[in-house]
Structure 1
Amino acid sequence: MSFSRILRRSFSTSFESNSMPNMKSIARDLYEEHSLKRLVQKFKKFSKLERFRTKTGIYKNTVHRLASAKCYNWIEEILEDQKNYKDISKEGFSKVFDEMPDRNCERTGLSLGALLGACVSSKKFGLVGELFEELPKKLSIEPDLVSYNTVIKAFCEMGSFDSAVSVLEKMEKKGVEPNLITFNTLLNGLYRKGKFPDGEKIWERMEKKNVVPDLMSYNAKLRGLALEKKSKESVQLFEEMMSKGVKPDTLSFNAVIKGYMNEGNLEEVKRWYNEIEKSALAPDRKTLEMLLPFVCEKGEVELAFELCKEIFERKFLVDVSLLQLVVDGLVKESKMEEAKKLEQLGKFNKYRRYSLKLPSDE
């Protein structure tokens, strides 16, 4: 497959939108345009403005939106339209890779990074490794940090963690220093897949490089500790991040709660659930989705009922089977009033109707 075709089919990226020279109003207009056909028409119209053609973020996000909708023909239409302008040779545009030399535009590390990023966004992870091995040698391109990070992400997505770590070692030998994104990509992949010892090696490596962990780093490790059923260490890490000025988010609390759930510790699960609100945060949909089966299993159907009420109050969309699980638990415990109320909430709420069944309905 030609590089240009890969780029057309795969490119993904970031955004902004109206039809006036004011860039903010233009960015807003594009962002709020629901019709993809009109989006393409407006994009081509705005491209006549030189200032618009310098806003690579709008280019990237527009292509990403079209790629997500699998409108590759419209992506190609946008790319082809850019050939009308002389400044196509400026680095940063979503160029057709094959045609760059013909337009007096040298293919660089940034170009390579764009192509690799396009493959990752379209989930062509295997292709990333092939291109990374082939193109730098063939085109005498020296990969930059972004390219290395993209390849590491691709290998992590594939579960090829040995390959991902080997890329880290290769970039260091080439004198390209890994950054926080490099380490967070590896930490997320390793801890999430239960490779805790390997994750710890990367954490140590990060500290030796004097790269300071951020919220994403801590959340990755908290998830790893949850899988390992190491809640004591999880709480210690939670306290450490706070002492270092890293403010936890709901994902941080979810990870600690998940750890205690894995250990079957109902009391600590309830305590940490309450800690979310004490911290001025709020449970998210994931919090409630993971809690409902657990509290039902533990016979805490009244708590499950309260959690369901919160789901409706906050208009979270959940699978009907979760709510039915609670209805069944309430009926089993002869709490028919609560069961009927939950059934009515499902039937008459104003954002999504759930068909929940009571024994009398069957």
Structure 2
Amino acid sequence: MSSTLCGRLHRIFRTTTTQTTTSRLKKATTISKPKKSKPVAAVPALPTTSKDENPEALVKRFKKQTDKAHFRSRHRNYEAAVRSLAAAGEFSGIEDILEHQKKYDNVTDERFVVRLISLYGQAGMLDHARKLFDEMPQLNCGRTVMSFNALLSACVNSKKYDKIGELLHEIPEKLSITLDVVSYNTVIKAFCDADSPESALAVIDQMEKDGLKPNLISFNTLFDAFYKKSRLSDADKVWEMMQSNGTVPDVRSYNPKLRALVADKRVSEAVKLIEEMETKGVKPDAFSINALIKGFCRDENLEEAKRWYGELAKNDCGRNKLTNKVTLSLLLPFVCDKGDIDFAFKLCKEAIAQRSLVDAANMQRVVDLLVLGLKGEEAKELVKLGKESKHYALKLPIDE
């Protein structure tokens, strides 16, 4: 690993393209210590324990379970526990269970240590991630670009983007680590998250100068950043770069553009983009369709909103519970506003059948509208289905 390469990347982090970008980076890296009462993870805690189990009991139980080799082999077990503890603000508990792992032979496997570094990063505990990285030689575990990349990702997850420049300047040359595409993609992600996609573009240029080819993840990260800022013309330049690079776009390349077009009230162009995707063999997913449904609901175009809801089933892309919930949350209130009570009834039944939880108030509204529309039997059926699902305590508005 040459000092020149890391020096270049270090300078990119130190000197961004504009003074505004520099101030944004500083602002993005200044975060307060998470309060105990607030979760630091954006993703809801996974069901690792019962509702009544306190964090202390969780830590004790988890440490006992890790004595089993098969339990230690499952990353999901660790991720779930760390998310639960982070959501409760129990960072000492996270340190306890992860430090406990050093007693096992697994700690000599770099992949196992990478998992622990990543978990510290997900909890926003960058100092602990760095400490573990530095301790790897004493744990008889070699350090390669894989563990270094995990440390870079921990910086991103902790929102301490300024530390990435320091790591790039300090570690690769010292440990003879050669950066790979994952390293560069992590740097690109950091700049995009820090609201500086221009600097991320500079990293793309650096990759190519150093003989590495940007991949699909590189470009998709840039698309997401530019389209979120409604910078469509800059995103178009990235498409040109992608084409010159010979990288084939996937559905994740198109979805940010679809959302940006809809946000810019250019729904007809979004529809044409869906058609272009299909022509090029890229299958739209639920996120693609939801973007159009959102646009047609905003434009109060009931027929088109219903038509594209039908495309979800036709394209077999509406089975995910989360995306179904998003779809129904968009569509159900709009359909009720438009008075299409039969379709609203259908949506409610599908939501219950697919176990896609939607706002109970919206579903109760459908029950009320069914009764007002003299569709008492349908209202009773929906109340019954809601009760059987154990998720909806729906009530008839009048005694029958």
Q: Which TM-score bucket, shorter chain as reference?
A: 0.7 to 0.9
Structure 1 Cα separation of the partners of residues 281 and 272 of structure 2: 15
Q: One-letter code of the match for 1:237?
A: L
Shift of 1:60: 4.6
Structure 2 Cα separation of the partners of residues 338 and 192 of structure 1: 46
Structure 2 Cα separation of the partners of residues 209 and 76 of structure 1: 44
Structure 1 Cα separation of the partners of residues 78 and 241 of structure 2: 36
- 1:25 alignment partner in structure 2: none
Which residue, out of 336, 348, 351, partners 2:387? 348
- 1:227 alignment partner in structure 2: 263
- 1:46 alignment partner in structure 2: 69
Partners of 1:226 and 1:259 within 8 A in 2:
yes
Q: One-letter code of the match for 2:103?
A: D
Partners of 1:222 and 1:252 within 8 A in 2:
yes
- 1:81 alignment partner in structure 2: 103
Provide, for residues 285-314 of structure 1, a one-character-per-residue CA deviation record: whole Å limited to 9, x for no partner.
Answer: 222111112222333233222211221222
- CA shift in 2, pair 1:195/1:301, >3 Å: farther
- 1:137 alignment partner in structure 2: 169
* TM-score, reference length from structure 1: 0.72
Provide, for residues 16-58 of structure 1, a one-character-per-residue CA deviation record: whole Å limited to 9, x for no partner.
Answer: xxxxxxxxxxxxxxxxxxx8755544444428xxxx99xxxx4
Partners of 2:352 and 2:386 within 8 A in 1:
no
Q: One-letter code of the match for 2:392?
A: R
- CA shift in 2, pair 1:308/1:136, >3 Å: same
Structure 2 Cα separation of the partners of residues 193 and 345 of structure 1: 46
Alignment of 1:26-41 (within 5 A): 40-41=63-64
- CA shift in 2, pair 1:176/1:346, >3 Å: same
- CA shift in 2, pair 1:161/1:354, >3 Å: farther
Structure 2 Cα separation of the partners of residues 319 and 76 of structure 1: 41
Cα root mean square deviation, aligned: 3.3
Deviates more, 1:212-221 or 1:195-204: 195-204
Structure 1 Cα separation of the partners of residues 257 and 234 of structure 2: 11
Q: One-letter code of the match for 2:347?
A: L
Structure 2 Cα separation of the partners of residues 262 and 159 of structure 1: 28
Deviates more, 1:321-330 or 1:302-311: 321-330
Structure 1 Cα separation of the partners of residues 147 and 317 of structure 2: 41
- CA shift in 2, pair 1:151/1:62, >3 Å: farther
5+ long unaligned stretches in structure 2: 1-39, 41-57, 86-92, 115-131
- 2:48 alignment partner in structure 1: none
Alignment of 1:118-267 (within 5 A): 118-120=154-156, 123-125=157-159, 127=160, 129-139=161-171, 140=173, 141-267=177-303
Structure 1 Cα separation of the partners of residues 230 and 334 of structure 2: 21
- CA shift in 2, pair 1:268/1:77, >3 Å: same
- 1:92 alignment partner in structure 2: 111
Partners of 2:328 and 2:358 within 8 A in 1:
no
Partners of 2:297 and 2:330 within 8 A in 1:
no
Shift of 1:114: 0.9
* TM-score, reference length from structure 2: 0.66
Higher RCO (C-alpha 8 Å, min separation 6): 2
SS of match in other structure, 2:260: helix
5+ long unaligned stretches in structure 1: 1-9, 11-34
SS of match in other structure, 1:150: helix
- CA shift in 2, pair 1:194/1:98, >3 Å: same
Structure 2 Cα separation of the partners of residues 183 and 338 of structure 1: 53
Structure 1 Cα separation of the partners of residues 139 and 382 of structure 2: 65
Partners of 1:44 and 1:81 within 8 A in 2:
no
